[in-house]
């Protein structure tokens, strides 16, 4: 089985590509540019360089596509440019994957697709409300898959509306930023200390689920939300990260904003194994400490 993984030079895509390879699959890792560390980080993975927004054609037939690559606001602050780049990339890579024979497409969407969340429990059916340009670009990709599976019933797809993904080298989400401050000895600010929290997804939990999805039959287009089980107050989550990282920085809590939980019920029916929230937090702290050589 050959799986193409876009964004293989990044955090989530790299972990997924390496996991699929270790599971015995042939993997094509699509990267925007080849860096000096690419040969080592993607050892035994066939690397294909492409600017997805401009176009791509896979050099070998593939069975599945995992589309992780995306512009994010931290790297592309121009909202219109971000939206156009992500939409063009999704359109190009989905089309190229089907042309190359893919029957499975896994799309790394985002919780940002929901926009403003007022529900206490977020499920795939939670209404969308005023998403930003990044969220709208993810919704556009999901809509493309709706249309694709209608036209091509031999293709099955899953859109994963992902929460904060954590692990060694993770970035651009609240817990990753908090861990970075802890390791730097800087204080951490958070809110609603006693609100239940499960918005944490270890990258290897994601990688294992993706490996399961591409190995089993898929029909139609399914949207899923993923998170941890056994929610815990955010103060405990942060305390576990500190315990794992071996730090003891001050954590200040404010109030405001809406706290919510994320349901993994539908994903679990398809083989997702949610981690325990507190265990995931402590392991994340340990991973960050080890990653930084502390």
Distance CA 111, CA 115 (A): 8
Helix residue ranges per DSSP H, the chain? 11-22, 38-41, 79-99, 133-151, 174-184, 203-214, 234-245, 265-269, 277-291
Distances in Å between the alpha carbon of 226 and those of 213, 261, 267? 14, 10, 7
Q: Domain segments of the chain: what residues?
A: 2-164+202-225, 166-199+229-259+275-291
**pLDDT band (50, 70, 90) for residue 39:** confident
* Of 192, 260, 196, residue with least CA distance to 233: 196
**pLDDT band (50, 70, 90) for residue 256:** confident
Q: Is 88 buried (19+), middle (13-18) or exposed (0-12) by CB count in 10 A?
A: middle
Percentages of the chain per state (helix, strand, coil), in multiples of 5: 40, 20, 40
Stated pTM of the model: 0.96
CATH number of 166-199+229-259+275-291: 3.90.25
| Tens digits of residue pLDDT in 236-249 | 999 999 999 999 99
Task: State which H helix or E strand residue 201 sits in.
Answer: strand 201-202
Cross-strand pairs, 30? 6, 48
Distance CA 204, CA 170 (A): 12
Please give the average per-residue pLDDT across 45-59, as a whole number.
96
In this model, does residue 255 exceed pLDDT 90? Answer: no
CATH topology of domain 2-164+202-225: Rossmann fold (3.40.50)
Distances in Å between the alpha carbon of 212 and those of 1, 175, 247? 13, 26, 36
């Amino acid at each position: 089985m050959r799986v193409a993984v876009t964004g293989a030079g990044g955090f989530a895509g790299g972990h997924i590509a390496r996991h699929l390879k270790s599971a015995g699959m042939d993997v094509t890792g699509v990267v925007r540019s080849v860096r000096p560390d690419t040969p080592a980080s993607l050892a035994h993975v066939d690397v294909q360089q492409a600017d997805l927004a401009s176009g791509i054609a896979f050099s070998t037939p593939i069975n599945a596509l995992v589309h992780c690559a995306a512009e994010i606001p931290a790297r592309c602050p121009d909202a219109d440019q971000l939206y156009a780049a992500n939409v063009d990339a999704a359109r190009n890579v989905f089309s190229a994957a089907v042309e190359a024979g893919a029957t499975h497409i896994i799309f790394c969407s985002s919780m940002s697709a929901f926009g403003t969340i007022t529900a206490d429990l977020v499920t795939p059916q939670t209404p969308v409300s005023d998403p930003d340009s990044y969220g709208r670009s993810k919704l556009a990709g999901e809509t493309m898959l709706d249309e694709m599976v209608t036209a091509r019933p031999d293709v099955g797809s899953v859109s994963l509306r992902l929460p904060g993904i954590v692990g060694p080298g993770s970035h651009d989400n609240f817990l990753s930023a908090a861990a970075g401050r802890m390791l730097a000895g800087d204080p951490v600010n958070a809110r609603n200390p006693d609100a239940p929290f499960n918005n944490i997804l270890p990258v290897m939990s994601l990688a294992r689920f993706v490996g399961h999805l591409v190995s089993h039959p898929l029909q139609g287009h399914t949207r899923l939300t993923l998170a941890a089980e056994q929610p815990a107050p955010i103060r405990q989550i942060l305390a576990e990260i500190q315990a794992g990282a071996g730090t003891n920085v001050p954590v200040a809590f404010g109030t405001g904003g809406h706290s919510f939980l994320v349901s993994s019920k539908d994903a679990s029916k398809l083989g997702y194994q949610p981690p325990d929230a507190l265990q995931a937090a402590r392991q994340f702290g340990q991973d960050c400490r080890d990653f930084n050589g502390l």
